[in-house]
C-alpha cells in the first residue's frame, strides 16, 4: 500500500540555518505530493505541492522537488526564521483521479532558536 | 472566506457517552474528509465523502464510529459508546473537486478527551 516516511525530529536549528527535511514515499502509479504545516493549536495548512515528476513546489521560501527516480520529496529552505517553528507533514494523494484521502508521514517537529 | 468550521473545539466526556463532532466545509467544495491525529499513529484518514456520498470508510476503526453528510454544508462524526482510546484530535477537511493534486483545506480540529 501507499506510505510516507519522514524524519520525526525534533529538529532544532538556529535562525538563518539551512533546512532539509527528508521525505520518501511508496506508492503505485503517479501520486501527487504535498507538504503541510501545523502551528501549535491549529489545523494543517498547505505549504506547497507537486503533481508530477520533476515539478518543484515552492512557497514562503520553502521548496521541494518531486523526484520519481528516488521516490522523494525533500523540503528545503535556505534561511529559517523563528516563525518557521512548527510541525511539518509530508503527504501523498493517490493517483488515478478522484479526491481521495491523503496518506501522511508522522510529522517532523521543527524548532528554530534565535 | 470562513474556511472549514468544526465544533466543538474541545470535548471532554466520560467513557460510554455518545460524542458528536460537527463540520461545515468550505462553500462550493464537494469533497469532505475526516482524519484522526494521535501521537502513536499520526494522522489517519477515517472516511471521505464526494457529493455527500460516503466513498471510503475503510479507515473507520470500528462500528462505534459513524459519519453522515446530510447535505453539502454539514457533516457529523459520531462515536457511540466512546472509549478512552478514542482520545485524539479529529480534523475535518474539504476540497473543491476530485482532480488529482487538489488541495485539501483543514479545519482547526476538535480535541476529544474520553475519561
Phi (first) and psi of residue B85, to 5 degrees: -70, -5
Summarised one tens digit per residue, pLDDT across range B10-46 is 999 999 999 999 999 999 999 999 999 998 889 999 9
By Cβ distance, the residue of A42, A51, A104 closest to B100 is A51
Express each pLDDT in A22-80 by its tens digit: 999 998 888 999 999 999 888 899 999 999 999 999 999 999 999 999 999 999 999 99
How close is the nearest chain A Cα to the Cα of B19, in Å?
20
| pLDDT tens digit sequence for A88-104 | 999 998 755 445 788 99
Return residues 10-69 of B near A (CB < 8 Å): 31, 33, 35, 42-43, 45, 48, 50, 55-56, 59
What stretches of A1-114 adopt beta strand conformation (E)? Answer: 3-6, 11-14, 19-21, 23-26, 32-38, 44-50, 56-59, 62-65, 75-77, 86-93, 102-104, 108-113
Is A102 in the B-facing interface, judged by CB distances under 8 Å? yes
Question: Distance between CA B36 and CA B40 in Å, rounded?
Answer: 11
Distance (Å, whole) CA A84 – CA A81? 5
Q: Give the Cα separation of B36 and B61 in Å (integer).
A: 10
Query: What is the mean predicted confidence (pLDDT) over B52-78?
Result: 93
Residues whose CB falls within 8 Å of the CB of residue A1, separated by 6 or more in sequence, listed in order: A26
Amino acid at each position: 500500500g501507499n506510505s510516507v516516511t519522514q524524519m520525526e525530529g525534533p529538529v532544532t536549528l538556529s535562525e538563518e540555518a539551512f533546512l532539509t527535511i527528508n521525505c520518501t514515499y511508496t506508492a503505485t502509479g503517479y501520486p501527487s505530493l504535498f507538504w503541510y504545516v501545523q502551528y501549535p493549536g491549529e489545523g494543517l495548512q498547505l505549504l506547497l505541492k507537486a503533481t508530477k515528476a520533476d515539478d518543484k513546489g515552492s512557497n514562503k521560501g520553502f521548496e521541494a522537488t518531486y523526484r520519481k527516480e528516488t521516490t522523494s520529496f525533500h523540503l528545503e529552505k535556505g534561511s529559517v526564521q523563528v516563525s518557521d517553528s512548527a510541525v511539518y507533514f509530508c503527504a501523498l494523494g493517490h493517483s488515478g483521479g478522484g479526491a481521495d484521502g491523503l496518506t501522511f508521514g508522522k510529522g517532523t517537529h521543527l524548532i528554530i532558536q534565535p | 472566506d470562513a474556511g472549514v468550521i468544526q465544533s466543538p473545539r474541545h470535548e471532554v466526556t466520560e467513557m460510554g457517552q455518545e460524542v458528536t463532532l460537527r463540520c461545515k466545509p468550505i462553500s462550493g467544495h464537494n469533497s469532505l474528509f475526516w482524519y484522526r491525529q494521535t501521537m502513536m499513529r499520526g494522522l489517519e484518514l477515517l472516511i471521505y465523502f464526494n457529493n455527500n456520498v460516503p466513498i471510503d470508510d475503510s479507515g473507520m476503526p470500528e462500528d462505534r464510529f459513524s459519519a453522515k453528510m446530510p447535505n453539502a454544508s454539514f457533516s457529523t462524526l459520531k462515536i457511540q459508546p466512546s472509549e478512552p482510546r478514542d482520545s485524539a484530535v479529529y480534523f475535518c477537511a474539504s476540497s473543491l473537486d476530485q482532480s488529482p493534486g487538489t488541495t485539501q483545506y483543514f479545519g482547526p480540529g476538535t480535541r476529544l478527551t474520553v475519561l
